[in-house]
Amino acid sequence: MSNLLAARELMAFTLAFHIVLASLGVALPAMILTANWLGLKRGDGDAMRLARRWSKAMAVTFAVGAVTGTVLSFEFGLLWPRFMERFGDAFGIAFAIEGIFFFTEAIFLAIYIYGWKRLGGWAHFWSGVPMVITGVGGAFSVVTANSWMNTPQGFTLDGAGKVVETEPLKVLFNPAWVYEVPHMILAAYMVVGFLVASIYAVGMLRGRRDRLHRLGLLIPLTVACIATPIQLFVGDTAAREVADHQPAKFAGMECIQESGPEQTEYVGGICTSDGVKASIPIPDLDSYLVGFSKDTEVTGLDEIPADERPPANTLLHLAFDAMVGIGSALLLLGLWLAWSWWRRREIPRTRWFLRAVAVSGVGAILALWCGWIVTEVGRQPWIVQGYMRTSEAVTGAQGIWFAFAGVLLLYAGLGAGAVLVLRAMSRRWRAEGDEEAGEGEVPYGPSEAVSG
């Protein structure tokens, strides 16, 4: 048991660390290329400078993301050898495709990042476009592998439980991919958009109100604010589908103890078998949300066998509420920006807006983590829903807690290193100002783009 818990905690921690970097790999290229396009099209030196700086930052985050991603692929085998052994031939297919996307992204990322000096302007821009496509393709592959764990199909088992036949297309296009994949891609765009914008919001709060900061705030914030309402729609659909596909997960998320119609929606609170304590109850709303009528029957935990109920019900419920709450707050932030832009073609003047943007990045990351807690903890005790328990999948190797402690230290160093390096880069850029050392002789770049 302890070994299982250690393996789950280690996997959760390394995934949580990686998902932030993976989001940057998925969505940052689009922001960079937007700035690059503005720079080339309008001869905008500030936009060009932003594109260049963001791509240098991405060189660091992508490198860290590549190693933490490699660690995860080792962990599949090191922590869950029984799972991989039994289901690798189905689960692995999506990862084989992901390999191609990741490979292509890494190649074009290298060409783009290291091509600023000597490639021509538009040739350089186009060398970056494959990153956007492969980022989205890679996200599809990885998330569809996860959605297969939630709604497994496309394989036949023999009497011993071994996979004897597979249908790769059914594996890839399992029922849950339709909502899980867009949910994650939009989440990546939101996380990166709000995160990058929040960095510039902090700069503006510190009095750096130049055009560069304004643009650095607006480009990513616009992308994120467009993604947010779409995300709320996708997320709402996803919740309904989960209620259908994984009733145990849904009952856990919403703290539904007994099956039946007229289910109360509980906002916050602590889940107990006698009902939800310390929450704000909204009568009948949960049934409305699931089936657009208060008569909609919703499955409760009482219908789920005790050994198939998700653990840590309160954690699950609060994570779900936190995700939805943060998402709604970010929607309001987007509406605030939209209103101000519609009225005066300007970001809201109050410092409170900048303060809100400054915390939006961290908020979006928290929402992302909460979403994955719902997905993963909500599927427990299964690793492959209905087919294999996580306890059957785990390694027999001992000492996972020690490995966990070591990984915590290592990743703390990795995270601190990445932040220090990025901050040092940003300080250097500020000190250098327009001159950006070593970039004076750039054949195309801020100076030429402005004059041309």
Partner 1 sequence: MSRADVAAAILWTGATLYALFGGADFGGGFWDLLAGFDDETGARPRERIQRSLTPVWEANHVWLIFILVVLWTAFPEAFGAIMSTLYVPIALAALGIVLRGAGFAFRKSVQRLSYRRAMGAAFALSSVLTPFFMGTVVGAIAAGNVPAAGEGDAFASWLQPLPMLTGALFVLAGAYLAAVFLVSDSERAGDREMESWFAARALAAGVAAGAVALLGLIALHGEARYVYDRLIVEGLPLVILSILCGFGVLALLLARRRRGLRPLAAGAVVAVIWGWGVAQFPYLLPTSLRIDQAAAPGPTLDSVLIVFGAAVVVVIPALALLYWLSQRELLGD
Would you tell me which residues interact with partner 1 (CB under 8 A)?
59-60, 62-64, 66-71, 73-74, 76-78, 81-82, 84-90, 92-93, 95-100, 102-104, 106-111, 114-115, 117-119, 130, 163-168, 395-397, 403, 406, 410, 413-414, 417-418, 420-421, 424-425, 428, 438
Residue 89 or 244: the one with the smaller Cβ distance to partner 1 is 89
How far does CA 90 lie from the centroid of its chain?
24
As a whole number of angstroms, the distance between CA 399 and CA 406 comes to 11
Q: Least distance to partner 1 from the beta carbon of 417, Å?
A: 5
3-class SS at 276? strand
As a whole number of angstroms, the distance between CA 225 and CA 223 comes to 6
Instruction: For residue 424, give both structure tokens.
Output: 């040092």
DSSP assignment of 360-380 equals: HHHHHHHHHHHHHHHHHHHHT
As a whole number of angstroms, the distance between CA 197 and CA 206 comes to 14
* C-alpha neighbours within 13 Å on the C-beta side of residue 216: 27
Q: Least distance to partner 1 from the beta carbon of 120, Å?
A: 10
Residue 109 or 330: the one with the smaller Cβ distance to partner 1 is 109
Cβ–Cβ under 8 Å, residues 205 and 351: yes
CA distances from 231 to 190, 352, 368 (A): 9, 24, 12
**Residue matched to tokens 């495709």:** 97
Residue 152 or 334: the one with the smaller Cβ distance to partner 1 is 152
Residue 174 or 222: the one with the smaller Cβ distance to partner 1 is 174
Q: Least distance to partner 1 from the beta carbon of 40, Å?
A: 19
In one letter, which amino acid is 176? Answer: A
Paired residues of 156 in beta bridges: 165
Cβ–Cβ under 8 Å, residues 204 and 213: yes
Q: Least distance to partner 1 from the beta carbon of 391, Å?
A: 16
As a whole number of angstroms, the distance between CA 155 and CA 136 comes to 26
Instruction: Give the other-Cβ count within 10 Å of 245's Cβ.
Output: 18
Q: Least distance to partner 1 from the beta carbon of 70, Å?
A: 5
Residue 62 or 177: the one with the smaller Cβ distance to partner 1 is 62
Q: Least distance to partner 1 from the beta carbon of 392, Å?
A: 13
Paired residues of 270 in beta bridges: 277
What's phi and psi for 385, nearest 5 deg?
Answer: -45, 120
Q: Least distance to partner 1 from the beta carbon of 63, Å?
A: 4
Residue 270 or 414: the one with the smaller Cβ distance to partner 1 is 414
As a whole number of angstroms, the distance between CA 314 and CA 275 comes to 11
As a whole number of angstroms, the distance between CA 357 and CA 74 comes to 37
Q: Least distance to partner 1 from the beta carbon of 340, Å?
A: 36
Instruction: For residue 11, give both structure tokens.
Output: 């996997």
Residue 395 or 447: the one with the smaller Cβ distance to partner 1 is 395
Residue 161 or 417: the one with the smaller Cβ distance to partner 1 is 417
Residue among 190, 317, 163 nearest 255 (CA): 317
In one letter, which amino acid is 288? Answer: Y
Residue 255 or 393: the one with the smaller Cβ distance to partner 1 is 393
Residue 88 or 268: the one with the smaller Cβ distance to partner 1 is 88
Query: 138: which residues sit within 8 A by CB, 6+ positions away?
Result: 25, 26, 98, 101, 102, 105
Q: Least distance to partner 1 from the beta carbon of 424, Å?
A: 6
Q: Least distance to partner 1 from the beta carbon of 156, Å?
A: 8
Residue 64 or 217: the one with the smaller Cβ distance to partner 1 is 64
Which helix (H) or strand (E) is 111 found in, with range?
A: helix 81-113
Q: Least distance to partner 1 from the beta carbon of 38, Å?
A: 24
